Amino acid sequence: MKEGEITQIILLKFEKTGTIRMSMIDISEKKEITRTATASGRIKLKPGTIRLIKNKQVEKGDVFEIAKVAGMLAVKKTPDAIPHCHQIPITSIKIDFEISDNYIDATVIVKTIAKTGVEIDALCGVATALLTIWDVVKKYEKDEQGQYPGTGICEIKILEKIKGE
């Protein structure tokens, strides 16, 4: 028995059990209701970088404003980036940052009146806002070898998902 034959048997098996071949799932019958999702995440930075951000001395500009803009655009582009995501008409985006001594927390709240939830959209906003912060301060985060031993993004999660008012 050759390799190709085994694969085909398994494939047929799955086709019968119906576990493969789903594409973007059908939400036609779901109700249009208010849906809100709150996502958050953290970027760990050097205390020196945090100080530059606090003092607005980062060369590329106001870190939070740049990250907020990038995050908003990313929320709206979610169905372009995440294959199975539906196109949702977002009615509101709120992006906030909290700054500590060696990390920054980003929170993104996305709201819509739609047939499906917006948690992935909120997560995309958080991830892009944090990646933008990294990009904007990368000069201060690199060590002498050009590496980023201490920089990292973590704790990306959904704080809350609400259906209805």
Q: Could you give the residue numbers annotated as active site?
A: 135
By beta-carbon proximity to its own copies, the closer residue of 19 and 101 is: 19
Provide, rounded to whole angstroms, the least separation between the CB of residue 136 and its own copies: 6
Contact by Cβ (8 Å): 41, 105: yes
Q: Residue 117 has which token pair? A: 């939830």
E-assigned strand segments in 45-147 = 90-99, 103-114
Is 26 a binding residue for its own copies by CB under 8 A? The answer is: yes
Provide, rounded to whole angstroms, the least separation between the CB of residue 104 and its own copies: 14
* 117-156 positions binding its own copies, by CB under 8 A: 117, 119-120, 123-124, 127-128, 131-132, 134-136, 138, 146-148, 151-156
Residue 21: exposure state from Cβ atoms within 10 A (0-12, 13-18, ≥19): exposed
* 43-72 positions binding its own copies, by CB under 8 A: 51, 54-62, 65-66, 68-70, 72
Is 1 a binding residue for its own copies by CB under 8 A? The answer is: no
Contact by Cβ (8 Å): 159, 40: yes
> 3-class SS at 109?
strand
The only residue of 47, 48, 100, 157 in contact with its own copies, by rule CB under 8 A:
157
Is 89 a binding residue for its own copies by CB under 8 A? The answer is: yes
Cα distance between residue 59 and residue 140, in whole Å: 10
